[in-house]
Every structure is written in C-alpha cells, then in structure tokens.
Chain A
Amino acid sequence: MFDSIETVQRNLGEQGYICGKNIATVVYLAHRLEKPVLVEGPAGVGKTELAKVVAEATGRPLIRLQCYEGLDEAKALYEWEYSKQLLYTQILKEKFSEAMAGAKTLREAAERIGAEDSIFFSDRFIVPRPLLRAITSPSPALLLVDEVDKSDPEFEAFLLEVLSDFQVTVPEVGTFSAKVRPLVFLTSNDAREMTDALKRRCLHLYIDFPTEEEELRILDVKVPGVDRRLAEDLVGVMQRLRKLDLKKTPSISETIDWARALLALNAAQIDEALVRETLNVILKYEGDIRKAHSELGRLIVRKAEAPPKPAAPAPSAATPASGEATPGAQPVGPAAPAPPKKGTLH
C-alpha cells in the first residue's frame, strides 16, 4: 500500500490530507518499521486527522482511545464483566450443586470449584477496551491514542508493553500478542512531557503550522468553493496573525472555519470591517481579539500592498477570479460588503 514516500504523500492527498515530505517520511517509516509514531505539535494542525486519514488510506479499522485525566487500565486495556459473571453464577447455581453433590468434605468441594476456575476467568468475561481490541483485531488495525499527554503518568506504563511488544498481559488469563501488528499513532499537545521510556519506543513527528503555500493548498481541498484571491488574502492574514504573541495561536482548523464563515457571508474581499466582525471565529480569547484589533491595521494594510506583487508573477492562475472580484469590490464601502457580492460569487 505504502511502498514509497511519494505514494504515501499521494494516498494521503487523495484522502484530502495535504502533507509535506517530512510527514510522509515518518508515516512511511512507521509503516515499514512497525513502530508507533508520537505526533506532537500545536493544537489544530491536523494530528488526529493524520491518523484518521492513514487509517482511511490503508483501509485499516480505526480504533481510538481518547485519553483524559484518570483514564485507567479498566478503560484502556480490558475489564472483567462482573455483572455477567454474577449472572452466570446465578444461572449455573444448580449445576454447581450437581458438581459438588458428591463432595464429602468442604475441602473437596473447594477443589472442584477451583478446577473450574478458568470458566470464570476466560475471554468470555473480558470486555476488551481499545488497546486490547487493537491487539486482538484479526485484520491489521490502526490504533489512535489521542492526547496522550492528558493521561496520567502511570498510564504511560501500560502503554509501554503495548507499544514495544504489541502484547497485553491479563494476569488471570495470560498474554495476548498481536497476530498482526497494528499501526499506532499517539498524539500530544505537549501539555506534559512524555517519559523517555515512551518516547524511545516511538518515532517522533512534529507537525508545525503550515507554510503559506501549504495552507493555500489545504484550503483549496477543504473549502473548494472559496475564491482563489480571497483564499490568498485570508491565508496571508492568518500567517501574520500567527506572528503576534497570542495566548492561543490560530491553526489550520481555524483557517478552514474562517474560510467557511466568509463563504457563508458571501464575502469576496477581506477588509478591515469584515475581519473585525469575524475575528471571533479564529481567536478564542478576549485578550487575543483585543490585541488583534489593535494590530488590525498592520495585518491588513500590508496585505493591501501585497496584492499587486503576487498578482504579477502568477496572473495565469489568478486572472479569472481576480478579474471578477476587483471591480465588484471597489465601489463597496467597508460597512456593507455582503449584499452586492452575492452575484459575483455564485
């Protein structure tokens, strides 16, 4: 399936995931070396998405384990189904009496029950949780351990066995080893540094904010209806926004949200008023919004100078779109951009 880095890139691209060579390289290596991948990076750059897309591209079922504080063995590995055991005991009560009918002493009765131990501690009563499911899955699976940094440090210890040997030990039953090794992705937002033991077992991938071109391509794929020139302006503003010292830097998901919002508003051009009104789509903190407001001039003014330059080297791609957009945009005041543009866009 993934027989070279280029095919990885292409396959992921077909699933609508635009990635650079670095991501493709690591995915390819993970596939070849059967090693887990620890994906780190700021929130919203597509870490979880990567795992989903790889699952899709390889046709593996995705098994997802969402980590949170207090996540324990019972939720992640396996759990004994107590109620079912209890139910079985109740129903089988008579059988027990039968089995013990011949027993003369208490000791003998206990021996007999002891011999049947394995009935109660068998696969039958185990509820497999994501980790065990990924290991025992008959077809190769993709295990996504999401936001592993949110879990407790003790939880990492459970993970170690799974990640290095692809096996899970249940004390009462024995060890389950993977027949086919699952592909494992762990994602982390760096809320807490993972232990070295865990890191050593994984390949490491750091996904950063995309470059301007990458972001444009992503926007192209994710929000197909958006006007080329609008997209360029929008990405420009985003790239500059990220340079500000913000509490929460907006990432790709915000860019996509914003593009969708602008599309819904039928905006054809980015101007100060529009940005001011829609800033809350991309910035999630009051302080950040205020800061962006004060920098708004710089975010957009520079952009206003920018268009002539990019328009010159790449007229072939931009002409049809910009040809429509510019005349439509000129007479419109910044206050009421929406109504007159309906016609131009659709």
Chain B
Amino acid sequence: MQKKIVEFTNLLRKSGVRVSVAEAIDAFRALDELSLDDREIFRDAMRSAMVKRSDDIATYDQLFDLFWSGFYDNLRGAFEGMNDELAAQGIDLDQLMRMLQEQLESLEPGSLDLSDLARALLTADLSQLEKLIREAGEQAGIARIENLLQIGFFSRRMMERMNAEGAAQELRDLAARLRAQGLSDDQAEAIRGLADRLLEALRRSVRNFAERELQKQNYDYMERFRRETLTEKSFYHLTEDEIRQMREVVARLAQRIKNVLSIRRRRMQKGKLDLHTTLRRNMARGGVPFEVTFKHRKKDRPKLVILCDVSSSVANVSRFMLQFVYSLQEAFTRIRSFVFVSELGEVTQVFRDHDINDAIEKALDGGDVINVYTRSNFGQAFHGFWQNHLSAVDKRTTVLVLGDARNNYNDPRAWCLREVKNKAKNLVWLNPESPGAWGFGDSVMDRYLPACDVAEECRNLRQLAKVVDRLVL
C-alpha cells in the first residue's frame, strides 16, 4: 500500500501537481486515521493532504481514477465479454468450467503441473491475473512508456514476460489430455476454443493495461504542451477553437498580473513621515510618538487611449489586446478605445454597455460607428483622431496604437501621430509584424517610428503579456 501511494505521489508530481514530502507524509498519517473501505473517503482524505490548489483538483481526480481503479473492472469487463460471446454461440461457460473442474479433480494430483498464469486463466481468478499482469508490466519497464506507438511493443513484451503463449499451450495440452481420458470430441473442442478465447481476452487486457499506463504517465502532457504553444503561437494562425482557449489563457494571465500588481503597488506606497497624523494618533500618550505613521505616496494609475486597427489582418491581435486591457480595467483610471480601418470611431460606450466578450466582438465589427469593409488607411484614422479626439489625451495618458501600418500606399500623415505623442505621456505602438518587415511594401511603420516612444513586435501572447505588464507598472 505504501509503495502504491508513493508511486501515486510521483505520478501526481509528474503531471504538474506539486506534492512535497511533508504532504505525502500527511497523506499517510491521514490514511492511518481512516478505514480504507470507502473509496470516496480515501480519495478525499488524500486530496486534502496532497492537493492544495483548486486548479489541480480535476487532474487529481482523473489520475486517481486511472491509478486506483479501473484496471480490475476492465479486466472483468474483458472476461465477462467473453462470457457473453460464448453464450451467444450456445456454450455455457459456467457449465464448461464446472466440467473442467470435475475433470481436473479426476486427474491424479501432481500429474497436473500448470503455471500460475494458466491456472489463473482457467479458474478466471481475476485478482491473480491482475497481479500477474502488473508484475509483467513492471518487468517490461512499462513506466517508461511515452507514446502511442509503444503500446504494441510493451504489450508484446509483457505477454512474453508472462509466457502467455506457454500458458495457452498448457491449456491446449490439457484439452488433449482430457480428450485422451475419455472426453467427447465436442467437449474437448469447446475447451480448446475456451483456451483461445482466454488468451485473446488476456491479450486485450494487457493491451488495455499498457494504454492506461500511457495515459497515466503522460497525463497532462498534451494539455501542457498545447497551453505552452498557445502562448507562443502567432495570432495570425488561430483556429476558432484556439481563439476560445486563448481567451481563457488571456483571462488567467490578466488575473496574475492583477495579483502581482496589488503587491507591487503596496510596496511602493510607504513614503515620508506624516507628522500631523503621528501627533494626532499619539495624543493619548501625551504626545510621545509611540505609533509612527507614514504618508502614502500616491501613484497615479495611467490613463489609457487605445487606437485599434480592426481590419481583418490584425483582428486577432486587437481582440486579445482589448480583452487584456479590459480585464485589467481597475489598473487604469480610464480607458478610451477607438477602432479604425480607414475612418476612426469611439467604442468606449460599447464596452460600458456590454460584457467584455460581446463588447470585443462588437468593437471588432466596427461597433456601429465605422465601416470595416474598406481598405486600411492609417493616415486618415490618425488625422481623424487628431481632429476630433485630441482632447482625450493629456500628460498622464498613454496612447496605445495597435496595427500593422500597412497603409495601402495612402498618405501616412505621420505628423498627426507626432502631435498626439507630444501631448501624451507615452505612445506605444504594437505591431504584429516583425521589425524586419517594417517599412517594406506598403508598410509605413518607418514613418511612424519617430513618433513612438516604444514600438514593439507583438504577435503572440507572450509578447502581449510583456507589453501589458510594462503598461500597468
């Protein structure tokens, strides 16, 4: 039992659940206090001692099922399936077994020398079978299994270790001997058939065992792989499914930044001695300053103005950018968002009226204020902003521009952007194209660059998170 729990702990660790030694010991202590008859209690007790993050609970539950159960049931399933099959062919397994039993007893003791496996098969002793399969698995080094292609290899190897072929042969021999002792042809045939089927059921079970082992050992592997690649994946090639998953990842990232932020902010707060409050607080002690208070340093939260290109080429970047920023709303004093393709329109209200995901889809669709089915014209958009919305920018505002600066050979009107920059605290440009492509073809990024305080490539979630993190600091 102890060994199994240690093994299970290792499995948890392998799947990304952090279990310390102290926690494993707690699990042992907890199990000492309980009777292990009730599976649920067993599971809950171990979970409370070893799994401390609510995110990990699902992983734990699934692994628990894989590890602590199942195989036996599965084994039974395989052998019961055989039962039904035989019944369909008009053979009564029970009767056959009984007959076999009688025959075996009639053989003189000692003359029959069956291997463990053959005996277990013959008597359908499932727990013995399970034990044998597990042993074989251990000998075959099944814990090293890594991918689907190895299932066949390992199950073959396990069959060899168990000498399954030999056991089948023994059964066939037995049939022949019983035949010699005066069993009818039909009956001997039935027994031989049974032997084949037993072997087949065994083979299936072994294979199943190997499959489960693979799942167990590599649980979470694909999941983790997918999540990791998702943050690296370029926004240009996302399927719809991935967009959905991406949303979750963004939400999680935003939450994390939020958590860190509250700590950082608090650290920055302590300022100079606050004489007034200190005196007032210590009046009760005759003005002797027992308790000292400090002034809070006020750190301004930034104001944010977002100019978002929503033409189809950058829609995904805009989508996650907006989601990110609006998930972090409380980190900013005020967010105003504008979208553009050629003309520019404000969508701040849309975000106020709808919940975040709906609002984003609406904004990407032009938010009822602009026509998205035109060709990108950054010059016109910036001019529009300069003309109508320059008042939105003051010296505490960070302006965030999102776009690929592919201007379809229109006039870039970089001076508008320069004006905006002069009024703002910061102007940050995020471009989903890599810097190598800036200024080539119809890209006018090089013209806009002088007007940007920061210009960054931003085409996957990792880069986006980095930028957002800097923004809120």
Residues of A within 8 A of B26 (CB): 33, 35, 203
Least distance between A247 CB and chain B CB atoms (Å) = 7
Q: Are A204 and B44 touching (Cβ within 8 A)?
A: no
Least distance between A337 CB and chain B CB atoms (Å) = 31
Residues of A within 8 A of B90 (CB): none
A198→B40 CA distance, assembly (Å): 26
**8 A Cβ contacts from B21-75 to A:** 22-23, 26, 29-30, 33-34, 38, 40-41, 44-45, 47-49, 51-54, 57
Residue B18 at the chain A interface, CB threshold 8 Å: yes
Residues of B within 8 A of A206 (CB): 54, 57
Residue A221 at the chain B interface, CB threshold 8 Å: no
Residues of B within 8 A of A152 (CB): 263, 266
Least distance between B290 CB and chain A CB atoms (Å) = 4
Residue B111 at the chain A interface, CB threshold 8 Å: no
CB-defined interface of A8-39 with B at 8 Å, one 1/0 digit per residue?
00000000000001100110110011010110
Residue of B nearest to A202 (CB): B52
Least distance between B342 CB and chain A CB atoms (Å) = 32
A29→B285 CA distance, assembly (Å): 48
Q: Are A25 and B285 touching (Cβ within 8 A)?
A: no
Residues of A within 8 A of B29 (CB): 33
A5, A40, A86: the one contacting B54 at CB < 8 Å is A40
B18, B33, B259, B266: the one contacting A29 at CB < 8 Å is B33
A152→B20 CA distance, assembly (Å): 24
Residue B473 at the chain A interface, CB threshold 8 Å: no
B40, B54, B354: the one contacting A22 at CB < 8 Å is B40
- Known contacts A33-B33, A82-B285, A86-B288; A26/B54 CB under 8 A: no
Classify chain B's interface size.
20 to 34
A28→B51 CA distance, assembly (Å): 17
Residue A94 at the chain B interface, CB threshold 8 Å: no
Residues of A within 8 A of B33 (CB): 28-29, 32-33
**8 A Cβ contacts from A153-168 to B:** 153
Least distance between A23 CB and chain B CB atoms (Å) = 9
Q: Are B284 and A83 touching (Cβ within 8 A)?
A: yes
Residues of B within 8 A of A202 (CB): 52
Residue B240 at the chain A interface, CB threshold 8 Å: no
CB-defined interface of A300-340 with B at 8 Å, one 1/0 digit per residue?
00000000000000000000000000000000000000000
Classify chain A's interface size.
35 or more
A52→B44 CA distance, assembly (Å): 22
Q: Are B44 and A21 touching (Cβ within 8 A)?
A: yes
Residues of B within 8 A of A37 (CB): 48
Residues of A within 8 A of B355 (CB): 247, 287, 291
A205→B48 CA distance, assembly (Å): 6
Residue B286 at the chain A interface, CB threshold 8 Å: yes
- Known contacts A32-B33, A33-B26, A82-B290; A204/B48 CB under 8 A: yes
A203→B34 CA distance, assembly (Å): 15
A40→B54 CA distance, assembly (Å): 8
- Known contacts A29-B30, A196-B18, A203-B26; A22/B284 CB under 8 A: no
Q: Are A204 and B266 touching (Cβ within 8 A)?
A: no
Residues of B within 8 A of A41 (CB): 54
A-B contact pairs, 27 of them (CB 8 A): A5-B34, A21-B44, A25-B41, A25-B44, A26-B45, A26-B48, A29-B45, A29-B48, A33-B33, A35-B26, A38-B52, A82-B290, A83-B285, A86-B285, A86-B286, A86-B288, A152-B263, A153-B263, A192-B259, A196-B20, A196-B52, A200-B22, A200-B23, A203-B48, A204-B48, A206-B54, A291-B355
B residues at A contact (CB < 8 Å): 18, 20, 22-23, 26, 29-30, 33-34, 38, 40-41, 44-45, 47-49, 51-54, 57, 259, 262-263, 266, 284-286, 288, 290-291, 354-355
- Excluding A25-B34, A83-B284, A287-B354, 7 further A-B contacts by CB distance (< 8 Å) are A22-B44, A29-B48, A86-B285, A152-B263, A193-B259, A199-B52, A199-B53
A residues at B contact (CB < 8 Å): 5, 21-22, 25-26, 28-29, 32-33, 35, 37-38, 40-41, 69, 82-83, 86, 152-153, 190-193, 196, 199-200, 202-206, 247, 287, 291
